[in-house]
Amino acid sequence: MNLKEELSRISQAVEIDEKKSHYKVSVEDPSKLIKAAQDLKSLGFDHVVSVTGVDYPDKIEVIWHVSSYSVEELKSINLALSVSVKKPEPRKEYDPNKRALVLKRPPVRVPSLVSVWPSGAFNEREAFEMFGIIFEGHPDLRYLMLPEDFYEAWPLRKDFQHEKMKVFLE
């Protein structure tokens, strides 16, 4: 199978660097994500290794790293399926507990791929709590590791600030 040909049928933006084992498929429109994932699965990429976000000043890139256990020639390949979503503007809201205006950073929304790859379920929960990515259609999108006082804190975003952070660091 010619992987490059097959992948370019899924999306126009394909990066392949065999020497560095870098394979990346970028989907522009989040609504086409599930179709792309189903195509990749029918190629033989059958499990998710990692789901993560990358925070940029204006957007969040969500990356699924997938690989194969069942197709012999794909076992050496680790493919990234990426989609970028624009971040909504942060806004100030009144917080009754603190009795003050606080800066809220609204979450972004992408479709969940758990229906295609069940192996991504825990990974997507982690990306949700760390980056504020709501995976629409995830059967059980709850906080996984963070305690309750990190509610909507999205700690792996670059603009994360926490009241206790200075105490911890110094």
Partner 1 sequence: MSEKVYNLEEAATLSPSGEKYIVLQIGPSHPGSGHMRLVVWLDGDIIVKVDPDIGFVHRTSEWLSERREWIKAVPIVERIMLPDTIHANLSYVLAVEKLLGIEPPPRAQYLRSLAAEINRITSHLYGIGIFGIFLGSSTVYMWAFGDREPFLDLMEMLTGARITYSYIIPGGVRWDMPNGFKERAETVLQYMERRLKDYEDIWVKNPVVQARTINVGVMKREDAISLGVVGPNLRASGVYYDTRKHKPYAAYKDLDFEVPVMKNGDAYDRLLIRVEEIKQSIRMIRQILKDIPEGKIIADNIYNQLNPVMKKVYEEKRRVMFPAYMIHLRPPPGEATSMVEAGRGEIFFYIKSTGDKYPYRFRWVTPSFRNLPFFTHVAVGHRLADLPAIYGSIDYFPPEADR
Among 12, 21, 31, 42, which residue sits at the site for partner 1 (rule: CB under 8 A)? 21
d(CA 120, CA 72) in angstroms, rounded, equals: 22
**Residue type at 138 in one-letter notation:** H
First and final CA of the chain: distance in angstroms?
Answer: 55
d(CA 122, CA 48) in angstroms, rounded, equals: 10
Among 34, 78, 115, 153, which residue sits at the site for partner 1 (rule: CB under 8 A)? 78
Say whether residue 70 binds partner 1 (CB under 8 A): yes
Say whether residue 155 binds partner 1 (CB under 8 A): yes
Say whether residue 145 binds partner 1 (CB under 8 A): yes
Q: In the complex, what is the shortest distance from the CB of residue 63 to partner 1, in angstroms, rounded to a whole number?
A: 7
Q: Would you say 100 or 167 has its CB closer to partner 1?
A: 167
Q: In the complex, what is the shortest distance from the CB of residue 119 to partner 1, in angstroms, rounded to a whole number?
A: 3
Among 33, 40, 46, 133, which residue sits at the site for partner 1 (rule: CB under 8 A)? 46
d(CA 138, CA 14) in angstroms, rounded, equals: 27
Buried b (16+ CB within 10 A) or exposed e, 95-120: eeeeeeeeeebeebebbbbbebbeeb
Say whether residue 139 binds partner 1 (CB under 8 A): yes
Number of residues that bind partner 1 (CB under 8 A): 35
Say whether residue 8 binds partner 1 (CB under 8 A): no
Say whether residue 99 binds partner 1 (CB under 8 A): no
- Binding residues for partner 1 (CB under 8 A): 20-22, 46-50, 52, 54-55, 63, 65, 69-70, 75-76, 78, 80, 117-123, 130, 139-140, 144-147, 155-156
